[in-house]
Amino acid sequence: MAIVDTRAGVFRNIRVYWLAFIVYWGIVLFGYDTGVGGGVVSAKYFKEQFGIIDPHGVEDVKKSNNISSNVVAVLQAGAFFGALTSAPVSAKIGRKWTLFIFALIFCVGAFLTTVASGPPHGLALIYAGRVLSGYGIGAISSVAPAYVSECAPKEVRGRITGLFQIMVAVGVMLSYFVNFAIGIHIPTGVNIWRIPFGLQLVPAGIMVFGLLTVKESPRWLASVGRNDEALQNLAYMRRSADSHPEILAEMAEIQAAIEEEKEARAGLYWKEAFFGKGNFVRFFIAFFIFLLQQWGGQNSVNYYAPQIFASIGYTSRKNSLLASGVYGVVKVVATAIFIFFGVESLGRKLSLLISALGMGSLFFIIGAILKTHPPSAALASAGPAPASQAMAAMLYIYVCFYSMGWGPLPWVYVSDIFPTRTRHYGLATASASQWLWNFVVSKVTPQILTDLGYKIFFTFAAVNIGAMATFAALIPETKGRSLEEMDVIFGSVTAEQRAENINRINKQDAQSVKTDSVDRKEMEEKA
């Protein structure tokens, strides 16, 4: 049945935004789960229950670093394998049902962490639940950007895909304030971790039921030969008729790209994904961009915000958790402003470059202040010193620079550059890289913070300016380009070949319509 053409209306992309809203509840889980662990393991009751603080009140720093890093890092370990598993599953059954299955797996993990009690089995249940939750999140973080990117029109694709990072920031912010509320109102008892872990089931449930209301990706349907269904879904998402010239033109471009990919790479299997013409450099970018993002310092702050703020002078648990919550709010606001007003105006390259230079400069300032004005334990009871407040302010400004570039744009950029046939492999590689380095960084951060002190900020500054800014200057711009144009940018096909293929498919479609019309006329005459 034809759909009323409302493409000129202000809400023409509302169905794509709805799809992104539902899918990205899984990304709220991503942010929430990564942020909640640091607050849980910093609680005094948690440390007492699991032997980090002995009966005399003495904390075993080495054991604290080990358990803290394990609780945070096992999530990333599970996510690494989830991201890799998602590629063949997504290629076989589609984006929608892959997300549905892995969201259910996440719920099982969340349930295990929620029912965990104290020794002797509580920590084992927390570890097991975090691994399963991570397995689900890893797949979701891989498939969700591809799903949204494949459904979004190119004029708003960067903004819609960038909602990924807004939802991550919302999840992190919620985890900080949940930990803050627990720290203020529940000083002891197993609810210190049961409530934060149990709340994960709310966004997971919204996602599971919401997925039943959205359509499958038109590009995936076309890639497996279900062209009629692909055209119907494309028209539905654009709120237009399936016979509208713009819909037919977009469908022709999708089909042309898929046909080119199949003809050029038929029978190559896994080699096709990594070594097909124009593909290797895309996989290199997808892997390396997340290596840099993880070692740039943001996730060390993200996962261990209470500990980071304590290291710069916010020594009381209330102050460190509150400072972390404010950090989360600043991150959400800055990310939202950039996604809705900056991502399609500044472009990918310039945003990444400015972001890296700004973050590196602020890390140098924080390191210098911490070196020259170290927090005084004797003055801790009077509240954070002016130098500590200045360093906190620098962290708040830092996260604004992060939110305008290296926060949202790696996912946007990687979603931009892969063709339909190999996009799920590309996103899986990017996601696996993100989670691999995520795991490494989250595992080593507590010990690095203990060993390096102020020097950790100088290390992050060097990575931001020396590596991330250089990388941003070298990659090609993708702003305003369709997914199918990426093949031209990366050399898989020439611009002339692409134009010829689109014209040929348009002629075939026109001839098919003409033939159908003649056949229908002959049938009417016979009748």
Query: Which of 10-24, 110-124, 334-348 is the least confident region?
Result: 334-348
Q: What does the pLDDT average to over 462-475?
A: 91
Q: Quick one: pLDDT at residue 522?
A: 67
Q: What does the pLDDT average to over 457-464?
A: 92
pLDDT in tens, 77-93: 898 888 888 888 998 89
Grade residue 516 by pLDDT with cuts at 50, 70 and 90: low
Mean pLDDT of the chain: 82
Q: At residue 434, does pLDDT exceed 90?
A: no
Q: What does the pLDDT average to over 200-222?
A: 92
44 vs 460 pLDDT, higher one? 460
124 vs 261 pLDDT, higher one? 124
Most distant CA pair in the chain, distance: 100
523 vs 401 pLDDT, higher one? 401
d(CA 355, CA 399): 10
Grade residue 514 by pLDDT with cuts at 50, 70 and 90: low
Q: What does the pLDDT average to over 134-140?
A: 91
444 vs 277 pLDDT, higher one? 444
Q: At residue 125, does pLDDT exceed 80?
A: yes
The pTM for the full model equals 0.75
Hey, what are 527's tokens? 């009748």
Q: What does the pLDDT average to over 444-457?
A: 85
pLDDT in tens, 214-253: 999 998 999 888 888 989 989 898 888 888 888 888 888 8
Q: What share of the chain is helix, strand, coil (3-state, %, to 5)?
A: 80, 0, 20
Matching residue, tokens 């971790």: 193
* Neighbour-count burial for 76-85, b at 16+ CB within 10 Å, e otherwise: bbbbbbbbbb
Hey, what are 86's tokens? 């998602």
d(CA 509, CA 113): 55
